[in-house]
Amino acid sequence: MKFPDGFEKRMKIQMESEWSSLKEALESEPPVSIRYNPLKFQKQQNEFSVPWCKDGFYLPQRPIFTLDPLLHAGAYYVQEASSMLIEKAINFISGDNEPKRVLDLCAAPGGKSTHLLSLLNSNSLLVSNEVIQTRVPVLIENLTKWGYQNSIVTNLDPKIFARLEGFFDIILVDAPCSGEGLFRKDPKAMNEWSEENASNCALRQTRILNDILPSLRPGGFIIYSTCTYNPSENQDQLQKMSNHHEMTSIQLDLVEKYGVLELSSNGIYGYQCIPNKTKGEGFFMGVMQKKSGEIKDHKINKKLNISIPKTIDSSQWLSESDNYVIFENHENEFSFIKKSLQHDVEIILSHIPVKKIGTHFITLKGKNILPTHGLALSVCKSPGLPTIEVPLQEALEYLRKNNLNIEYPGDGWKIVNYQGNALGWVNATSGRFNNKLPMEFRIRTL
């Protein structure tokens, strides 16, 4: 592997005696890891477990994930193991298991957002934001597959969140960076690297942090992470937060257990994964706590439209339907979210534009009620909804949006299951199946 000259020169100084073993590790095959959805798929801990993530597992080799229906069902997410380290930060700062207001600022494609949803109390509210508009659909798709109801999706520049002053308990900033930690996994990252680009990334990261910190409540925490080794994009960003925003650094117990490097200077603690020490790619993380600030009382001037037609019986579709508020998010399109979250959602609606709230579960078309793909994949759906269990080949045909070649189960809407996990709906009518998988969810491989 031929590294950029500027990168290798800096790393020899930065890593000292570690550089030769790191370089050797970077020339080896990267590990493959996934993280299971705890509400859809349970797996016992074993020798393949990612030690810092209770639902993380290594695979002996990389399969063709596209041809595994369980991926499309949201039973697991393909995620780099080192980035799962945020679980330890979340567990440390939310150990009381109380509901939290959480922002994932740079969320697409959704790996860390789905991880956060698995870790947080179900009465917590997650706002998943993606700045780049073209990346929002994949974020929504992955959140839909994961199946949780307690999330909002936004597409905003970080500075817009200043309208929600002091609102969030936790903000995750997985910042855009020079990508040095991905060189082994993604040669494109190495080809795009330059010292100028790394410097520009550091300037962008500082701006992002300056813009987002006003929305963190006093006493709240920011988790800052990158997939690079560059101190100007890592420890230096934590130091700037401490110097200019009255933030204090939090020390985590990660070093001895997991082989993570603890980088400490001037009371600032950062944690670096390097492939010769940890089984994963290069990843950096630090946790900062806001010392002071004013508690803000946020006004509500925009409420959810909960005037729903009497024809909608949510108990037909949702488990424990009394726990949810049903609202019309667009004309004749209805979504749900926990009643305990309604106040926080209405605060957000009153201050910033949103792309998606909760789970869209039914659409009215004339007198007909049409269930949605989001409902099929939801962990909140009624267990009494009719299902069809199909084998692998039929599951793949369904995911290609083809017809099913199985015994006709009778008329009506039915959820297609594979190994007990929902893939989507069919509407069986007059002896034939109408495949209701959304076009954007279909697989295109043979």
Enumerate the active-site residues.
227
* Structure tokens, 131: 């700045």
SS3 per-residue string spanning the chain: CCCCHHHHHHHHHHHHHHHHHHHHHHCCCCCEEEEECCCCCCCCCCCCECCCCCCEEEECCCCCHHHCHHHHCCCEEECCHHHHHHHHHHHHHCCCCCCCEEEECCCCCCHHHHHHHHHCCCCCEEEEECCCHHHHHHHHHHHHHHCCCCEEEECCCHHHHHHHCCCEEEEEEECCCCCHHHCCCCHHHHHCCCHHHHHHHHHHHHHHHHHHHHHEEEEEEEEEEECCCCHHHCHHHHHHHHHHHCEEEECCCCHHHHCCEEEEECCEEEEEECCCCCCCCCEEEEEEEECCCCCCCCCCCCCCCCCCCCCCCHHHCECCHHHEEEEEEECCEEEEEEHHHHHHHHHHHHHCCCCEECEEEEEEECCEEEECHHHHHCCCECCCCCEEECCHHHHHHHHCCCCCCCCCCCCEEEEEEECCEEEEEEEEECCEEEECCCHHHCCCCC
CB 40 within 8 A of CB 258: no
Nearest Cα residue to 146 out of 119, 176, 172: 119
Residues 6+ apart with CB under 8 A from 258: 51, 52, 85, 278
Measured distance CA(362)–CA(381) in Å, rounded: 12
- Between strands 387-389 and 412-418, the pairing is parallel
